[in-house]
């Protein structure tokens, strides 16, 4: 006997939904494969030693992106150096000091908003804060705008990781008469370190490819400079300007830069995961 | 959690040797107070940062708001030479591209989340969700370049001519789909945005689907529900608020995304119904024109645009967080 018609319809509906779900997944993976393939093939075709040894060239000449790599590295590191300490301290406040107070809840909420706020808005903010005051674009302003992107990522992960540390560890240390600041620095931070490092690495992966805020802060510089009060070349903005230009040679350089950038960002992401996986919290 | 610092005294009734208030313990108490002040200041800095960002943009855009008033929001003038500015075209472009992105991304993300939590065999789940998250890690400028150099030619050559021929003549909706096949435009920008936000929405949905208690689903299966009925009638109602939260999170990102859109939108300050025509968005306008803004009013208008974007995303993200919190409350981990 054939199944009841009603059940047949329900089953058909379920099968159709499952087929669509599989299709949706294939749809998502298809774009990933296409984008990675484009970056890989075009990047490998245009990469050479000049890329890492020469400066950004005028339109029809050969050159590399050494100054841009240096600028990106410097600004990212400065961004981390400005943003991460404040982030760790604010995360510590949320986890250890704010308790269940409304101010703690409010800071968490605002931090979540900051976490997903458009980066272009933060760029405009730093433009008004730094560039408009100094009167010109500078690498320092670029680093500050990146720091505002680092901040919420680090606050969030520090807060979450510290809350994972069992209360017994705090109680044990406090009952030995260790003052709370020492408990925080020597017990809690040590225990939560892999998580905090992961947060900082994730923040690094995010700011390395960040373009929009740098357009209003660091801008670009065709030449080599180590002066942080001057405009400085950086990989994302160079890619942007070169890709939007009509010159074939610049396009090639932009693809090479895009390839290196993607590789770096994905590698940092992988390392961040490995750090978490390598040292699971030993107490559970 | 809040742990009050151990004070230098001993609880009454305990038969212990009283400690003298040594210099060391005084120093510790001072250090404790100092540390508390330090972390509190860092926490408050987060609040101040957001407020300062909003106020500085309001201040920077005051010249434009003063001169054009609220009409700034619905005027479609954009004339840098005569210094007359209105935000209608960028606002329209932002809303339309974000809507297209959500129309594509929400069903696809739902499908991916359903696949990853209910359909895929166990060994496949980790790999596929890691791959989808990889998509989220790619910098947005790479999406933009890929869109401009790879996607735009494909769409201009193979897709848009057919869209124009087949859908362009339809009544009512025809205007949306007719136009020269440039490849650049609102439709392309919407598609690139959709690809960008899919991993965000999908991973939120996957995570919240996993919070549904197994016994709820098992009960439904035991009563003879099909897999689709379990997802639609049990999983989705249980997670509804968080799913909406995830969608709004994606929307917030789509509204504020800059680089990917700037590459493929075409940078044209014209109001057009056609999705095949170039347009502009708030973020793309700011990114394209800020460096060359030569007058105080021009720059002020761009910052005012930034303020509008900030307000809109603030509202959207607030809704997202409130919705996500609903499920967390139900789970007992508010």
* pLDDT of the residue at A153: 95
DSSP bridge partners of B85: B78
Q: For the ranges A184-198, B9-23, B159-173, B270-284, which has the lowest average pLDDT?
A: B9-23
User: What is the per-residue pLDDT for A3?
Assistant: 56
Partner-chain contact A266 B138, CB within 8 Å: yes
Q: How far is residue B252's CA from residue A148's CA, in Å, rounded to a whole number?
A: 18
Contact of B137 with B229, CB cutoff 8 Å: no
What are the pLDDT digits (tens) for A218-233?
888 888 888 888 899 9
Strand partners, B79: B84
Stretch B261-288: mean pLDDT: 87
Comparing alpha-carbon positions, the chain A residue that sits nearest to B248 is A116
Q: Which of A20, A114, A171 lies nearest to residue B50, judging by beta carbons? A: A114
Q: Cβ B43–A181 below 8 Å, yes or no?
A: no
Burial of A207 (0-12, 13-18, 19+ CB in 10 A): buried
Size of interface A-B (CB pairs under 8 A): 287
A266 chain-B contacts, CB cut-off 8 A: 134, 137-138
CB contact under 8 A, B317 and A17: no
Whether residue A246 has pLDDT greater than 70? yes
- ipTM summary value: 0.89
Picking from A244, A280, A186, A220, the residue whose alpha carbon sits closest to that of residue A65 is A220
pLDDT band at A140 (very low <50, low <70, confident <90, very high): very high
The pLDDT of residue A163 is above 70 = yes
Subunit contact B39:A216, Cβ cutoff 8 A: no
Average pLDDT of chain B, as a whole number:
87
Q: Closest partner residue to B1 among A99, A109, A125, by Cβ? A: A99
Is it the case that residue A20 has pLDDT exceeding 90?
yes
- In the three-class reduction of DSSP (H, G, I as helix; E, B as strand; rest coil), residue B180 is classed as coil
3-state secondary structure of A41: helix
On chain B, the residues whose CB falls within 8 A of the CB of A148 are 49, 53
Distance from CA of A177 to the nearest CA of B (A): 7
Residue predicted with more confidence, A264 or B328 = A264
Q: In the prediction, which pLDDT does A272 show?
A: 87
- Which chain B residue is nearest to residue A20, measuring alpha carbons? B111
Whether B95 has a pLDDT exceeding 80, the answer reads yes
Does A171 contact B40 at a Cβ distance shorter than 8 Å? no
Contact list in A for residue B256 (CB cut-off 8 A) is 117-121
Residue B111 to residue B202: CA distance in whole angstroms? 8
Tell me, what's the pLDDT at A62?
83
Average pLDDT score over residue span B1-15: 46
CA-nearest of A189, A240, A227 to A65 is A240
Is pTM beyond 0.80 here? yes
Q: What is the largest CA-CA distance in chain A?
A: 84
Q: What is the pLDDT of residue B10?
A: 44
Q: CB count, 10 Å around CB of B96?
A: 19
Q: What is the pLDDT of residue A283?
A: 45
Q: pLDDT class for B6, splitting at 50, 70, 90?
A: very low
Whether residue A208 is predicted with pLDDT greater than 80 in this model: the reply is yes
Tens-digit pLDDT profile for residues A98-131: 888 899 999 999 999 999 999 999 999 999 889 8
Q: Look at residue B47 and tell me whether its pLDDT is greater than 90.
A: yes
User: Would the CB atoms of A120 and B111 count as touching at under 8 Å?
Assistant: no
Question: What confidence tens digit (pLDDT) does each residue in A68-88 have?
Answer: 999 999 999 999 999 999 999
Q: Is the pLDDT confidence value at B27 over 70? A: yes
Which of A21, A118, A174 is nearest residue B6 as measured by Cβ atoms? Answer: A174
Q: What is the pLDDT of residue A126?
A: 93
* Residue B79, phi then psi, degrees to nearest 5: -130, 90
Determine which of B137, B154, B248 to mutate to test the interface with A (most A C-beta atoms within 10 Å).
B137
- Check residue B19 and give its pLDDT: 58
Q: What average pLDDT does this structure show over B126-154? A: 91
**If we measure between CA atoms, which residue out of A141, A121, A111 comes closest to residue A212?**
A121
Cβ–Cβ gap B199/A28 under 8 Å:
yes
The alpha carbon of residue B309 and the mean position of all alpha carbons in its chain are separated, in whole angstroms, by 12
Residue in chain B closest to A94 (alpha carbons) equals: B43
pLDDT at A105: 92
Cβ separation A212–B253 shorter than 8 A: no
The predicted structure's pLDDT at residue B20: 61
Question: A112: nearest CA in chain B?
Answer: B321
Q: Which residues of A256-275 are buried (b: 16+ CB within 10 A; e: fewer)?
A: bbbbbbbebbbebbeebeeb
Q: What is the C-alpha separation between B328 and B283, in angstroms, rounded? A: 33
Q: How far apart are the first and last CA of chain A?
A: 54
Residues A120, B202: C-beta atoms closer than 8 Å: no
Q: Which of A14, A22, A243 sits opposite B148 (nearest CB)?
A: A243
What mean pLDDT do residues A134-162 have? Answer: 93
Which pLDDT score, from 0 to 100, does residue B18 have? 57
pLDDT bracket for residue A259 (50, 70, 90)? very high
Percent of chain A with pLDDT over 70: 96
Q: Which residue has the tokens 């560890």?
A: A169
Distance from the B211 Cα atom to the nearest Cα atom in chain A, whole angstroms? 18
Distance CA B241, CA B334 (A): 14
Predicted local distance difference test score (pLDDT) of residue B310:
94
- pLDDT value, residue B180: 80
Confidence of residue B101 (pLDDT cuts 50, 70, 90): very high
Rounded to an integer, the average pLDDT of B248-261 is 92
């Amino acid at each position: 006997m054939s199944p009841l018609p009603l059940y047949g319809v329900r089953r058909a509906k379920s099968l159709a939904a499952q087929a669509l779900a599989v299709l949706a997944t294939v749809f998502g993976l298809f774009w990933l494969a296409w984008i990675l393939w484009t970056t890989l093939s075009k990047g490998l075709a245009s990469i050479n030693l000049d890329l890492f040894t020469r400066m950004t060239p005028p339109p029809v000449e050969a050159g590399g992106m050494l100054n841009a790599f240096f600028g990106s590295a410097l600004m990212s590191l400065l961004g981390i150096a400005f943003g991460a300490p404040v982030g760790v301290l604010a995360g510590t406040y949320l986890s250890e000091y704010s308790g269940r107070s409304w101010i703690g809840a409010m800071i968490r909420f605002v931090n979540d908003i900051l976490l997903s706020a458009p980066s272009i808005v933060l760029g405009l903010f730093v433009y008004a804060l730094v560039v408009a005051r100094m009167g010109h674009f500078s690498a320092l302003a670029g680093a500050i705008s990146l720091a505002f992107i680092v901040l919420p990522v680090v606050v969030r992960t520090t807060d979450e990781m510290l809350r994972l540390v069992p209360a017994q560890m705090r109680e044990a240390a406090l009952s030995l008469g260790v003052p709370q600041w020492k408990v925080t620095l020597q017990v809690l931070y040590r225990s939560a370190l892999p998580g905090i490092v992961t947060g900082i690495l994730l923040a690094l992966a995010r700011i390395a490819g960040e373009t929009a805020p740098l357009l209003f802060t660091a801008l670009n510089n065709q030449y080599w400079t180590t002066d942080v009060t001057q405009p400085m070349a950086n990989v994302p903005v160079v890619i942007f300007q070169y890709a939007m230009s009509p010159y074939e040679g610049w396009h090639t350089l932009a693809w090479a830069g895009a390839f290196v950038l993607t590789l770096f960002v994905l590698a940092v992401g992988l390392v961040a995961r490995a750090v978490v996986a390598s040292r699971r919290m030993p107490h559970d | 959690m809040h742990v009050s610092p151990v004070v230098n005294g001993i609880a009454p009734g305990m038969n212990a040797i009283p400690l003298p208030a040594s210099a060391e313990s005084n120093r510790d108490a001072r250090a404790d107070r100092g540390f508390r002040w330090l972390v509190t200041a860092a926490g408050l800095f987060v609040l101040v940062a957001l407020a300062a960002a909003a106020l500085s943009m309001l201040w920077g855009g005051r010249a434009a708001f003063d001169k054009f008033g609220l009409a700034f929001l619905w005027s479609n003038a954009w004339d840098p030479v005569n210094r007359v500015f209105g935000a209608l075209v960028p606002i329209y472009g932002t809303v339309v591209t974000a809507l297209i992105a959500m129309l594509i991304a929400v069903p696809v993300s739902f499908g991916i989340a359903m696949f990853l939590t209910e359909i895929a065999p166990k060994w496949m789940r980790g790999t596929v969700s890691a791959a989808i998250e990889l998509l989220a890690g790619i910098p947005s400028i790479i999406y933009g370049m890929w869109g401009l150099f790879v996607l735009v030619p494909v769409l201009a050559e193979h897709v848009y001519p057919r869209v124009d021929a087949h859908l362009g003549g339809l009544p009512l909706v025809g205007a949306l789909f007719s136009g020269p096949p440039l490849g650049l435009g609102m439709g392309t920008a919407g598609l690139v945005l959709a690809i960008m936000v899919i991993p965000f929405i999908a991973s939120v949905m996957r995570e919240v689907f996993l919070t549904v208690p197994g016994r709820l689903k098992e009960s439904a299966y035991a009563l003879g529900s099909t897999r689709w009925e379990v997802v639609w009638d049990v999983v989705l109602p249980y997670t509804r608020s968080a799913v909406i939260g995830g969608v709004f999170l994606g929307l917030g990102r789509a509204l504020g995304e800059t680089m990917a859109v700037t590459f493929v939108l075409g940078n044209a300050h014209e109001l057009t119904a056609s999705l095949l025509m170039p347009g502009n968005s708030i973020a793309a306008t700011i990114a394209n024109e800020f460096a060359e803004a030569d007058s105080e009013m021009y720059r002020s208008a761009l910052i005012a645009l930034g303020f509008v974007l900030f307000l809109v995303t603030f509202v959207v993200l607030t809704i997202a967080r409130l919705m996500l919190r609903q499920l967390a409350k139900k789970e007992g981990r508010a």
